[in-house]
Structure 1
Amino acid sequence: MASAFEAALSRRSSSKVTDAAPDDAELTRMLGAAGRVADHAGLRPWRVIALRGAARGRLGDALVEASASTGEPEHKLAGKPLRAPLLLAVVATITEPHKKVPAWEQEAVASGVAHVLSLLLDDAGWGVMWRTGPYTRHPAVARMHDLAPGELLLGWLYVGGRAEHRRPGRPADVARRFSVLD
C-alpha cells in the first residue's frame, strides 16, 4: 500500500472500467478507513449504498424519469449507470438542526469519506470515477435510493477493473491556489 502522499499523487479518474469489481468485504474494510475523516461532533453524517446488477438498471430508469421534461435521449441516460459493474452512491445524512455542526459541514464530511474511499480504491488497483449530474438530487433518484428525509445524494463512485491505459495526471496549479497571510 502506498503512502497517503503517493496515493494522492497517483490518483486518476478512470472513465472506462472492466467488469471486475471489489466484493463487499473489501468495500467494508475500505469504508472502515475512509470513515475516519475529520468529523466534528462525531456525527458520522454519511452512508454508502452499493448498486450492482439490476439496481443499476433501476437507477437508469430513475434518471429517465427525472429528465422527462428535458428532452434528453432516454437511451443515453438509461445506459449511464451500466458503465461500471459497481456504483457506490455516497449519501450525506444531515442532522438538522445541530447546535455545533451546520448542514454544510456534515455534507463536507460525507464528501471527505467519498474522496478518501476513491483514493483507497484507486490505490488497491480499481478504476474509479466520481460522477454526478443534473439529476443527482431529483426526487425520482432519491426514491430509487430509498433516501430518508435529511439525506442528500452526493453522486456515485463508478468502480470497476482498471483499464490498461491511464491518462497522465495534470499538475495542480498550486501557485494560484495557495496563499499565506501573515
Structure 2
Amino acid sequence: MSTVSAAAARRRSRSKVTDEAPDHEQLLAAVEAAATVADHSSMRPWRLIELRGDDRLVIGRSLAAASGAEGRDAEKLEQKSLRAPLVLAVVSSPSPSRKVPEWEQESVASGVAHLLSLVLDDLGWGVMWRTGVFTRAAEVQAAHGLTGDEKLLGWLYIGGRDPRRDDDKPRKRVDASRHLSALPRD
C-alpha cells in the first residue's frame, strides 16, 4: 500500500484530544501541503481562521445566539468550543467565474479541509471536523467575520492524540462495490 493510501486507511476522527497543538509554523506547513488539492483555474477559493485560547469562544457564543440558547445551555455550547486547543474555521470564499461555478469552488474548500485533516493526522495530531445545523446561521457567519458570498463549512478541532484512547481500533470497511458503478447502457 502506498504512503498516501496507508495514511488514509489510518486516519481517524479524534473527538478527544490533549492540550498540545501544532504551533503556527507547523500549521502553515500543513496548510501548504493541503493546498495542493485539485483547484480548477487555481482560484484558491478558501481560507482558514486560526482560533486559539479565548478566541475559540466565538464559536460557542455564536452557536448559542443562532440557536436561541440561554443560561446553562449557552454555557454548554461555549464549553464545547474549548474541546481542542486549536480550532480552524474552514471557509469557502468563492470568486465570480464564468469557468468555475460556486459549487465547484466550495468543493475545493472542502477538499482542502479534508486533505488538511489527513496531513495533520499523518503528522500525529488528533483532528475532528465538526459541523452542525447552525454552521451557516447569520450569527455564526458574522461572528467569524465572513463577507459577501463566503460560507463556513465547519471547524477542524486539532490537538494532541490522547495515548489512553484506542487509536488502532480497526475501522469499519466500506463495500466499495456498492459505491462504484459503470455508466448505464441501454
Q: Same fold (TM over 0.5)?
A: yes
User: RMSD over aligned Cα, in angstroms?
Assistant: 1.8
Aligned to 2:182: 180
Q: How far off its partner does 1:71 sit? A: 10
Identity of aligned residues (%): 53
Aligned to 1:118: 117
Distance (Å, rounded) in 2 between the aligned partners of 1:102 and 1:65: 32
Distance (Å, rounded) in 2 between the aligned partners of 1:109 and 1:177: 22
User: Deviation per CA, 1:127-149, whole angstroms, max 9, x where unpaired?
Assistant: 00000001111111111111111
Aligned length: 180
* Mapping of residues 12-31 of structure 1, within 5 Å: 12-31=12-31
Consecutive unaligned residues of structure 2, counting only runs of 5 or more, are none
Distance (Å, rounded) in 2 between the aligned partners of 1:72 and 1:79: 10
User: Deviation per CA, 1:20-63, whole angstroms, max 9, x where unpaired?
Assistant: 00011011111111111111111100011111001111221111
Aligned to 2:80: 80
Aligned to 2:142: 143
Other structure's SS at 2:7 match: helix
Report if aligned partners of 2:45, 2:108 keep a CA contact under 8 Å in 1: yes
Aligned to 2:36: 36
Amino acid in the other structure paired with 1:106: Q
Aligned to 1:170: 172
Q: How far off its partner does 1:77 sit? A: 1.4
Other structure's SS at 2:126 match: strand
Amino acid in the other structure paired with 1:175: S
Note if 1:57 corresponds to 2:57.
yes
Q: How far off its partner does 1:95 sit? A: 1.2
Amino acid in the other structure paired with 1:133: G
User: Deviation per CA, 1:62-95, whole angstroms, max 9, x where unpaired?
Assistant: 1111111799922221211111111111100011
Consecutive unaligned residues of structure 1, counting only runs of 5 or more, are none
Note if 1:134 corresponds to 2:136.
no
* Mapping of residues 73-112 of structure 1, within 5 Å: 73-96=73-96, 98-112=97-111
Other structure's SS at 2:81 match: helix
Amino acid in the other structure paired with 2:53: G
Q: How far off its partner does 1:102 sit? A: 0.6
Other structure's SS at 2:129 match: strand
Distance (Å, rounded) in 2 between the aligned partners of 1:129 and 1:168: 18
Distance (Å, rounded) in 2 between the aligned partners of 1:170 and 1:6: 15
